[in-house]
Structure formats: structure tokens, C-alpha cells
């Protein structure tokens, strides 16, 4: 057992000081825009992204779906680029940046929220992975897998997804370079097959069974990855400069994520079914589709473990990140196997509402107090910054008030996109609260 842990430690530290979980990424360890782009594509593309395409297909024309995806992905890319600026300046992860914004102890809030969201959705996605494989097997063979077999698949999938996260950014990047081209080939091939059998005009207006407004479609796209945009420092701290960040987000979110959703929508319209499993089987992909869906879920869910372990790193400061990654992945897998993750989806949805305001707070505070965002000042920071906590809580409350579905309060609407409402509210309230309550503003933050 001791040799096993030693092996893991050697591999985890091979990327550099436990993947720089609590330190800045050194300049010589930073990567080009392509590295960040391919990791972000892998992070964003999952079974949930394909499902989103199916949902848009049932509610919008294909033209409207393309507009919704383009607008939504551009907004997500802009959010991710803005939120990444503190990471490029400091070289730190989202949760470590939280120490400057919320204080040394207040940052535990950031870490626990990110870890809770990541851990929870890892379990949900691991369960979805097992269910999807079960559906594909039934459609291809006519026989259903036993519940026990599905649970075994969940365990195998969960452990696979955890392994790449244990060894950090480099490991996730290597997996993404293998998986993303395979996913791209299948998606483009699917689109070619669809366009050969249908005219664009036919696809455009077909299979609208649950009409929605264009604004709702845009909201769905933004809401699907708002937390990922706010947590962009975890990945983009490895970017060399802001230009590389913009390139990575345009390619990763606008092109990679966006095109995937549009192709999924087109395929759903062609087959007449929003279920990605039925769509892939209907297009005749069979086992190939299963392999690609496994890769898509793997590259997405390992990022949940990665961000979750980075969040826990600011809470449990003595424990190596790779051990926190193991804990996140293994416990999330156990919850998925016993079905508890799906039962807790409402709780995870609440955490999802709490996440976007964190980005608004740390971004505004970075602009106000940029010169104080230095790793050298870490031990001089306050324990808790009351003004930031106040701004955050007000913005989170606004997020709940504008969320129209459970667990939101549905009291009113601002932009119709609760994640944007709370993000912008947090940005504004952070400026107001710092000006009002921090008498030493400009001298100390």
C-alpha cells in the first residue's frame, strides 16, 4: 500500500508541485492557447451537451438554434475570458483567488462551493454515464443490462474519470488530445449523413414539439456552462497571456462547444428524437457511438474532479491535491452507485445558483485592488473580508429571486438568465460594498 501511494505521489508531482494547487503556475510551466482550448472543449462536451442540442431541436427552428448557441457561447466565452484575467495575473486557481477577495477563511466558502458543485455533478454525470451505456446496449441488442451490471459500469467509469484528474492538467490535456479529435470526427460525419438524407429547409422547421422563445434557448445555453465560465481560472491559469485566453475560449466554447450543440440539434431533428442514444443508434453508429460517448463523458467529468480537488485544497491545506482528487472521485462514484446523487440534484441546483456571484465578486475586486493580488501578500490578507461577503450574499439572493424554476423564488426577471443576473449584481455590489465599508480602499484590500 505504501508503494502504491508513493507511485501516485511521484506521478502527481511530475506535473510540478502537486499541479500548483496552492501556488502560482510558473511562467515556464504555462502552455499555449491550444492546450487550454482542447481541455475546455473536453470539459464542455458531455452527454449533457448533446442533450441540450436535443432540447433546442424540439423548441426552436435550426436557424434559431444556431443563433441561440452563437449568442450564448459568445457570452460564455466573454465571461470566461474576464474571469480568467485574475488567474493570468496571479497564476492561481479560482479558489486561491478567493483568498484575496473573501479573506483567508472566507475563501473556504469558495472552495467548498466549487468542490460541492463539482463533486455533486460528478456523481450525477457518472450515473448518467452508466444509464446511457445501458440504453445503448438495450437498443443495439434488444436485451437489458441488469441493475448490478449498470452499477459496475458506473464504478468503472467513475474510476476512469478520476484517474486523469489525479495527475493534473497535463494528464487531462493528453486525454483531451486523444478524445476530442475522435468526437469531432463522429460529430462531423453525423452531420454529413444528416445533410445527405435531408435538405436544410426540411431540417430547419422539423421536430418542434415543445416550442420555446429564442431568449429561452439562449438562457439554456448560458445556464448550461455558466459555472464552468466562472471557474475558468482553474484551467486558464496555465495560459501564457490574455490573447491566448481569447483564442482558447473562442475555439473551445464558441466553435467546439457551440458546433457540438448545433450538430446534436440537427441530428435530433433528422432522427425525430431528442435522446442522444436513440439519435446515435438511428444514424447507425452502434459501438462507435458508445466509444465516443464514453470519451465525451470522461473528458468532461475528470474536470469536475479536478476543480473539486482544487476547491478542497484551500479548505484542507495540509492534504496533497491528488489525495483530494481521489476522495472526490471515489466518493462521487459511491454516491452515483447508490443513487443518492440523483436524489440530491435539487441541492446541487442550489449550489449552482450560488456559484456565478463568486465570479462577479472576484472580478470586480481584482479591478479595484489589482496591485494587492500578489502571492507574496498571501500571509498579510485578512481572515474574512466582510464587504465581499455582503456583496456576495446580496447577489446570490438576487439569483434566487430571478430563477424561475425550482429551487428559485421566481419573484421577478432581469435578463431572463439568472446566472448573468447574479454575476452582474455581484460585480456591482462588490464595487459598492468595497467603497462603502473598506475605509482603507486603495491602501489595503
In this predicted model, what pLDDT tens digit does every residue of 118-169 receive, in sequence order? Answer: 888 898 889 989 999 999 999 888 899 999 999 999 999 999 999 989 988 9
416 torsion bin: left (phi>0), alpha (psi -120 to 50), beta (else):
left
| pLDDT score of 376 more than 80 | yes
Task: Give a yes or no: residue 55 inside a domain.
Answer: yes
pTM of the model: 0.91
Range from 52-56, 158-162, 328-332, 341-345 carrying the lowest mean pLDDT: 341-345
How many structural domains are present in the chain? Answer: 1
Nearest to 266 by CA among 192, 209, 215: 192
112, containing H or E segment: helix 107-141
Within a domain: 3: no
Convert 343-363 into a string of H (helix), E (strand) and C (coil).
HCHHHHHHHHHHCHHHHHHHH
What digits encode the pLDDT tens for the residues 24-65?
A: 999 999 999 999 999 999 999 988 899 999 999 999 999 999
Q: Containing domain of residue 137, as a range?
A: 26-437
Q: Are 292 and 133 in contact (CB under 8 A)?
A: no
- Look at residue 269 and tell me if it is in a domain: yes
The CATH code of the domain that includes 54 is 1.10.4160.10
Residue 217: inside a domain: yes
20 lies in a domain? no
**Rounded-to-integer distance, Cα 362 and Cα 373, Å:** 11
> According to the model, what pLDDT value does residue 12 have?
54
What per-residue confidence (pLDDT) applies to 439? 66
**pLDDT tens-place string over residues 287-309:** 888 888 889 999 999 999 999 99
Range with lowest mean pLDDT among 12-21, 223-232, 268-277: 12-21
Whether 260 contacts 45, CB under 8 Å: yes
Domain contains 184: yes
Amino acid at each position: 500500500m505504501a508503494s502504491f501511494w508513493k507511485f501516485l505521489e511521484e506521478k502527481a508531482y511530475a506535473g510540478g508541485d502537486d499541479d500548483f494547487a496552492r501556488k502560482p503556475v510558473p511562467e515556464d510551466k504555462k502552455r499555449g492557447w491550444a492546450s487550454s482550448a482542447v481541455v475546455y472543449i473536453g470539459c464542455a462536451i458531455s452527454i449533457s451537451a448533446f442533450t441540450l442540442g436535443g432540447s433546442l431541436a424540439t423548441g426552436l427552428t435550426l436557424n434559431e438554434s444556431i443563433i441561440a448557441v452563437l449568442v450564448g457561447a459568445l457570452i460564455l466565452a466573454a465571461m470566461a475570458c474576464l474571469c480568467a484575467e485574475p488567474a493570468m495575473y496571479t497564476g492561481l486557481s479560482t479558489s486561491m483567488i478567493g483568498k484575496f477577495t473573501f479573506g483567508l477563511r472566507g475563501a473556504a466558502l469558495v472552495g467548498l462551493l466549487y468542490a460541492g458543485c463539482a463533486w455533486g455533478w460528478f456523481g450525477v454525470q457518472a450515473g448518467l454515464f452508466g444509464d446511457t451505456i445501458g440504453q445503448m446496449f438495450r437498443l443495439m441488442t434488444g436485451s437489458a443490462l441488469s441493475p448490478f451490471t449498470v452499477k459496475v459500469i458506473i464504478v468503472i467509469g467513475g474510476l476512469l474519470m478520476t484517474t486523469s484528474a489525479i495527475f493534473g492538467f497535463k494528464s487531462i490535456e493528453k486525454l483531451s488530445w486523444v478524445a476530442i479529435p475522435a468526437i469531432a470526427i463522429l460529430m462531423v460525419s453525423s452531420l454529413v449523413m444528416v445533410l445527405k438524407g435531408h435538405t436544410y429547409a426540411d431540417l430547419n422547421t422539423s421536430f418542434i414539439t415543445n416550442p420555446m422563445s429564442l431568449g429561452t434557448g439562449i438562457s439554456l445555453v448560458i445556464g448550461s456552462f455558466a459555472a464552468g465560465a466562472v471557474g475558468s481560472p482553474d484551467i486558464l491559469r496555465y495560459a501564457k497571456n490574455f490573447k491566448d485566453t481569447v483564442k482558447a475560449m473562442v475555439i473551445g466554447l464558441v466553435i467546439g462547444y457551440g458546433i457540438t450543440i448545433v450538430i446534436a440539434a440537427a441530428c435530433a431533428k433528422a432522427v425525430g428524437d431528442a435522446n442522444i442514444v436513440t439519435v446515435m443508434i438511428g444514424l447507425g453508429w452502434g459501438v462507435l457511438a458508445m466509444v465516443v460517448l464514453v470519451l465525451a463523458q470522461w473528458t468532461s467529468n475528470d474536470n469536475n474532479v479536478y476543480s473539486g480537488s482544487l476547491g478542497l485544497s484551500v479548505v484542507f491545506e495540509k492534504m496533497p491535491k491528488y489525495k483530494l482528487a481521489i476522495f472526490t472521485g471515489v466518493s462521487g462514484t459511491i454516491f452515483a452507485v447508490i443513487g443518492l446523487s440523483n436524489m440530491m440534484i435539487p441541492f446541487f441546483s442550489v449550489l449552482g445558483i450560488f456559484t456565478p456571484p463568486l465570479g462577479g465578486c472576484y472580478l470586480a475586486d481584482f479591478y479595484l485592488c489589482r496591485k494587492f493580488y500578489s502571492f507574496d501578500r498571501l500571509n498579510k490578507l485578512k481572515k474574512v473580508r466582510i464587504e465581499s461577503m455582503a456583496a456576495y450574499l446580496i447577489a446570490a439572493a438576487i439569483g434566487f429571486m430571478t430563477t424561475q424554476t425550482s429551487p428559485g423564488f421566481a419573484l421577478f426577471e432581469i435578463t431572463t438568465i439568472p446566472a448573468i443576473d447574479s454575476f452582474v449584481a455581484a460585480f456591482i455590489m462588490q464595487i459598492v460594498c468595497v467603497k462603502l465599508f473598506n475605509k482603507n480602499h486603495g491602501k489595503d484590500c
